[in-house]
Copies of this chain bind each other. A is one copy, B any other.
Amino acid sequence: MTRLVGIDWGTTNLRAFRLGEEGEVLEARSDPRGAGGLTPDQFPQVLRDVAGDWLASGCAVMICGMAGARAGWVEAPYVFCPAGPEDLAAQVVQPEDGVAIAPGVALSADGLDDVMRGEETQAVGLFGPGESGVMVAPGTHSKWIAVRDGRIERFRTFATGELFAAVRTATLIGRGLPEPGADDAAFDEGVRLALADPAITAHLFSVRVRQLSGGLDPQGASDFLSGLLLGAEIAAAPAERTASVAIVGGEGLSARYARGLALAGFTSVRVAAGETAAARGLYRIWSMMK
């Protein structure tokens, strides 16, 4: 019996979940038609293509992510921190009967500092009523989301992946470096240096000096650079060392973040499944829509 169809509609793809009576995932699908490539009038058809059979019974649809952005299906304005499932539920927009799109979350009312769309739903899926912890979503734009008693208290986005790629693409310091992930010692040294002194532009120059002096080979330089950027991210992240941290990301990247967090003294770190978190968050928000 399908209780709800949940959609995590990102920029470059979407993931759809058929959820049962208690919000459990009965079935999951993905599709490459992300919100970034669609005009507003195309969303209804994509929804039918992806989940038409699930919807035949007439159940509701709960959507999070970029479908609610300005250039998405219908714009769902941001809610401000602190924000729990009830706050998100109160601000959904409904492009059709039975279809709700969750708002994004902005750090503060001026909307200038930081925003997200989609990760807030994963976070409230990971940490339910009464639960506290930090969700870390590494990637092009890494997000750290601090949840207290089931509500998102604050969050911060770091352009870590984007900056790493730019350094490898467009600087003499990084050009030609291989993918990171093979030199743990160099990675660890980068993390430690940046934790102690998050002066990224100075450390970037030292990547070059260490290569010229023979102190680092190209693989070491790549891992050192990766560690530096992660160390600087951890140094500025909104998380206590004793927080319960859940990392939601690809396998290799999540393992590297777990390693960096351990080096930084975090005592409770696990790798969690992002899909499950999104599905649970969609169900929680929808449950509050009464």
Contact = CB atoms under 8 A, between A and B. Distances in A.
A205 B157 contact: yes
Contact of A213 (B112, B163, B204): B112
Interface in A183-238: 197-202, 204-206, 208-210, 212-213, 215, 229, 232-233, 235-236
Nearest to A169: B170
Given A198-B198, A201-B229, A206 B166 contact: no
B159 A201 contact: yes
B202 A200 contact: no
Contact of A171 (B163, B215, B232): B163
Contacts of A113: 206, 209
Contacts of A162: 171-173, 204
A127 interface: no
A158 B209 contact: no
Most B CB within 10 A of own CB, among A199, A202, A215: A202
A142 to B, nearest CB: 8
A256 to B, nearest CB: 15
A160 interface: yes
Nearest to A163: B201
Contact of A112 (B157, B172, B199, B215): B215
A115 interface: yes
A111 B176 CA distance: 23
A112 B158 contact: no
Interface string A149-174: 00000001111101101110111110
A166 B167 CA distance: 6
Contact of A205 (B110, B114, B165, B210): B114
B114 A206 contact: yes
Contacts of A111: 209, 213, 215
A208 B233 CA distance: 18
Given A167-B163, A198-B198, A205 B141 contact: yes
Contacts of A210: 112
Contact of A115 (B200, B202, B209): B209
A228 B37 CA distance: 32
6 contacts: A112-B206, A166-B167, A198-B199, A199-B235, A201-B232, A202-B236
